[in-house]
Amino acid sequence: MKKFFEKVLIANRGEIALRVHRACKELGIKTVAVHSSADNEAMHVKLADESVCIGPPQAKDSYLNIPSIISACEITGAEAVHPGYGFLSENAHFVEILEAHNLTFIGPSSEHIQIMGDKITAKETVSKLGIPVVPGSEGKIEDLNHAKKIADEIGYPILIKASSGGGGKGMKIAHAPTDLENAFNLARVEAKASFGDDTVYIEKYLNAPRHIEIQIFGDKHGNAIHLGERDCSLQRRNQKVLEEATSPVIDDNQREKIGNIASQAISKLGYVGAGTIEFLYQNGEFYFIEMNTRLQVEHPITEIITNIDLVKEQISVAAGSKLSLKQENVRINGHAIECRINAENPETFVPSAGKIITYHPASGPGVRVDSAAYAGYSIPPYYDSMIGKLIVFGQDRNDCLAKLDRALDEFVIEGVETTLPLFKDLLRNNDIQEGNYNIHWLEQYLDQ
């Protein structure tokens, strides 16, 4: 077996650190875990070949502490860094510093991260590459008069969005001209407070779209492929809650068409590594909203229906290998659903930190659990509340739903509250059973 690297440092925590560790071990690569002082007992630290404490609990002092991570690479002799998702995974500055230290970043170039990190630039770039975008302003909005002019041209309702946006922050709707001034000012203030940048742009507000994203992959030899779509329309406060692949509303022709548009665009861009092109989908049309230049939380559902290990592929491409397969060899089989299990009250969504007393993950045919939790583990209050992902696969959507229902009955977590009961409720709903939902569905359901 070809060894891509001798040693990889995993600059993350929780289930994704473990996921990367597993891929490395299967490739014969040694792993280095980094962790904060709150994560001494974390699973990724226990399983890695070596571990380095890089700072106190607050993420800014540890998982976001670039000098500490570089030192950890030097002390341990790691040659490459896998960033997981979140933390430093989309930080172009981090990638530049790694390059300056002769360390390989398992991900795209700093230039591509930068382009996609600024939403106005991202939209302009992909539009030129032939990807359909949401109608809206070309570039930034200068002032209120400019906003009025654009809003009148595209027609209400419109959405004001922050160019540096993320997590739904700096995003405000104006349903009518009378809402515009307020929405414009609020979006700018929120954007400035959250990102230190009040640059905003305008998009047509789509009233009932689905969120459908395409997984793409590029290598350093100019090859690019797509691995089909994921439907992530079940969201609460712009956070994905349940994802499925394939989408209940996309057929093979549509998949091939939008997939090819996406892979051709990233090939022209010279993009290297895994990426996700996110679209809103309404009335049979796709509209680009953003590109994520990293592995996604929901990547396992694509792994299952394509039988491709995305993390191993990331590692091999970063080491300079060609993509392991061509588009014509990508086969999509069956159906997969992922439920994000958060340590939260399933009705109020208030985080529930504390000690897990009982932990019995579901298993059996068609069940995969990606989690770093174990009985006796105390969930620290400093990080996000996701404690695991229940991923289920079936021959088709109905088989997958039946397996999910059964798996949810088996899964037992005691000691902290979790969102497991929410999924059991969702499965009883007709709209969910029929795949009939859009990005507003879950919030409307929870409001009832």
Q: Which of 56, 57, 132, 166 binds ligand ADP (CB under 6 A)?
A: 166
141 forms part of the interface with ligand ADP (CB under 6 A) = no
- C-beta neighbour count of 71 within 10 angstroms: 14
234 forms part of the interface with ligand ADP (CB under 6 A) = no
- Of the candidates 230, 294, 340, 368, the residue annotated as catalytic is 294
205 or 393: CB nearest ligand ADP: 205
Angle, helix 310-318 to helix 14-26, in steps of 10 degrees = 70
Instruction: State whether residue 348 is helix, strand or coil.
Output: coil
Q: How is the beta sheet containing 50-55 ordered, strand by strand?
A: 50-55, 30-36, 7-10, 80-82, 104-105
- Tokens 């230290």 belong to residue: 101
Straight-line distance from the first to the last Cα atom of the chain, in angstroms, rounded to the nearest whole number: 55
Q: Which 323-362 positions form the footprint of ligand ADP (CB under 6 A)?
A: none
- C-beta neighbour count of 207 within 10 angstroms: 10
Q: Are 9 and 81 in contact (CB under 8 A)?
A: yes
441 forms part of the interface with ligand ADP (CB under 6 A) = no
Question: Which listed range, 25-33, 204-212, 223-231, 327-335, lies at the site for ligand ADP (CB under 6 A)?
Answer: 204-212
Binding mask 46-85 for ligand ADP (x = CB under 6 A): ----------------------------------------
32 or 159: CB nearest ligand ADP: 159
Catalytic residue list contains 294: yes
Least Å distance between CB 447 and ligand ADP?
Answer: 16
Number of H helices, E strands in the chain: 15, 20
439 forms part of the interface with ligand ADP (CB under 6 A) = yes
User: Which amino acid, one-letter code, is at 376?
Assistant: G
Instruction: State whether residue 288 is helix, strand or coil.
Output: strand
39 or 290: CB nearest ligand ADP: 290
* Nearest residue to 220 via CA among 143, 304, 107, 308: 107
Question: Which listed range, 102-110, 148-156, 165-173, 412-420, lies at the site for ligand ADP (CB under 6 A)?
Answer: 165-173
Q: Which residues bind ligand ADP (CB under 6 A)?
A: 134, 159, 165-168, 203-206, 209, 211, 235, 238, 278, 280, 289-290, 439
Active-site amino acid positions:
294
